[in-house]
Structures are given as C-alpha cells and as structure tokens.
Amino acid sequence: MTTSLPIAVDAMGGDRAPSEIVAGARLAKENHGIDVVLVGRSEELTDCGDLEVIEASEVIAMDAEPGSSVRRLKDSSLVRAAEAVRDGRASAMVSAGNTGATMASALLRMGRIKGVSRPAIATLLPAPGTTPTVLLDAGANAECKPEWLAQFGQMGAVFAQDRLNISSPRVGLLSIGEEPGKGSPLVKETYAEMQTVNWGTAEFIGNVEGRDLLTDEVDVVVTDGFTGNVALKTLEGALKNLMLALFSAMGERPEAAEAAAQLGPEFDQIYRFFHPDTYGGAMLLGVKGVCVISHGSSGAQAMENAIKVAAEMVETKVVEHLTEAIAG
C-alpha cells in the first residue's frame, strides 16, 4: 500500500509512547509498505530505523487542557503533525495522544471543511457476522444541535461507504425507542431534521436502540458526543469483562479447562474480533485532512492498524467525498 506522501505519526502521544508508537510505525512500513514520518523529540526516538523524523521539542500531556495546550505549545508533536498535513509534507496524521488536543490541532491547523458545523469522531463497533457499525459522535461534541447531528449522519454515511464499502448505508438515530416520538427533545428535533436531509445513496431508517449497535440492523448510528462516548466505553468494558468471566469460568473445572485448551484458537479469534486494537482507531470527520485518533493505551499492533487505516482513507479520498457530500 502506498500513498503519495507519508503518514505523520505523533511519536510522543499515548501512554506507551514513544517506544510502542515507533514499533507500530516500523511494522506499518515493513508489513504494508506505508511511508511514515515520525514527529517528536529525535533524541527520544531510538530504534526508528530509516523512518524520517520531524523535530518537535514539546509534548502535550494526556491530561492537559486541549485548547490552551495547542495554542501555547506550538512546537508540540501534535501540532507539528497537523501542520505537516496542512503544508503538504504528509498525507494524514495519526495520534494516540490527548484526544481533545488532537482534535484541536487538526481543526486549528488543517481547518474545517466548508459547510461543516462541527467535526465528529467516527468509530467502528464490531458486529458479529456482518460489517462493523459506525458510531458518531464518539466524544468530540458533548452538547449538540439537531442540524449538527443530521450532518454527522451525512458524514458517517460517506465514511461507511469509503471505509466499509457499504454502497447504501442505513443511518439511524440513537434513542430509547424505535418510534419517532421517543427520546429527549434533542432526539425528537433531530429526527425531524434528518427527515429533511438529501441522503443520496444512503437511507435514514429512523430511531435505533442501544441493543442494535452490534447488529446488522443499522450501518451508521448518530448521537451526541457525550452519549456516544459513554456507549463506546460501556461496550468496551462489558466485552472485556465478559471475556474475563468466560476464561475464569473455564478454568474452574479440569473438564472445562481441557475444553478451553481445545477451543483456544476460537477464543483468540473472538478476543481479537472485539478488541479495539484490531480496528486501529477512530477518524475525525469534518476537517481538511485525514486524522486518525487511536486509543491512549495503543501498542505497536494498534498503531500499525491505525496507520493502515489512515493510508486507506487517503487512497479512497474520503476527505474529498465528505466535501462533496456537504456541498451537495
């Protein structure tokens, strides 16, 4: 896989930076042929092989206030990565660092697509037996207006087409019931707003419930960033604890332990299917560039997958397609 320009990777962002980030960047280069440029303090970026480094002397901490940090730390790895995309030195940026600061860096340095009210974070939820479900907003906008949510649906549909090859995505609005009259005032107003949208090849199917997130009932689920982030973290925690409970139960009896040993490959497959690292990261939709946001605990495999996703989104021209959808 090749892109005309390298992927800029924030080498200093994340709980396991820089070692795991550098390792993931090298894997992306070795396994997928993706050109990567690391952004960070060169003296701390050991074992980076032949990967290019863009010097950045500052680091935005994981718990730093996003807006003020981006404005104050102009030589941070996050800001320099976003500037690399803006200035044509890189085709996309990837970071496992401070999520709010990543969004602020992308928005302030790359700029917003014309017509986009607010960028949104789109993440993939695993759905057994079918393609993943796109959930947005997953945390960028805690409070929203109906017209913003409707636009999130438009952007999510484009993302589903380019990322998952779904020709006619089904877009649903997350609520507490399928009926149009169910939900908060925001949900009810958004429902009416989404009925007026020109969806193109996509389709608005109305309200969906939390139980539909991991099913084939819907392709794109729209909600505000507060609800979306709570839903995402709840699912991650529930699935993790379910797997732990299963492994614990299988170890309580010798017969069960023997069965678990036989089913080891299947358990491993299920674990990988539901693990966030498999999907690389979420994408910030609505800015003038590809920006992939990885989990703060990302290791080498997660970073490799995130870089691969970024390269794929550059190749599919998702930013151009988002621009066309919003303009249309």
Given CA atoms 106, 75, 73, 293 in this order, what sign does their dihedral have? positive
pTM: 0.92
For residue 162, pLDDT over 90 is answered with: yes
**Selection from 322, 311, 238 nearest residue 91 by Cα:** 311
Question: Does residue 128 or residue 204 have the better pLDDT?
Answer: 204
Tokens of 117: 């009210």
Model confidence pLDDT, tens digit, residues 269-326: 776 666 667 777 899 999 999 999 998 889 999 999 999 999 999 999 999 999 999 9
Output the average pLDDT for the chain: 92
The domains found in the chain, sorted by start residue, are 1-115+286-316 (3.40.718.10), 117-279 (3.40.718.10)
What confidence category does residue 103 fall into, taking pLDDT thresholds of 50, 70 and 90?
A: very high
Detail the DSSP E strand segments found in 137-231: 170-174, 203-208, 220-222
- Please, where are the H alpha helices in 33-184? 66-72, 77-86, 99-105, 146-164
Model confidence pLDDT, tens digit, residues 121-158: 999 999 888 899 999 999 999 999 999 999 999 999 99
Q: In whole angstroms, what is the distance from residue 132 CA to residue 212 CA?
A: 12
Alpha carbon separation from 30 to 36, 51, 89, 308 (Å, rounded): 11, 11, 21, 12
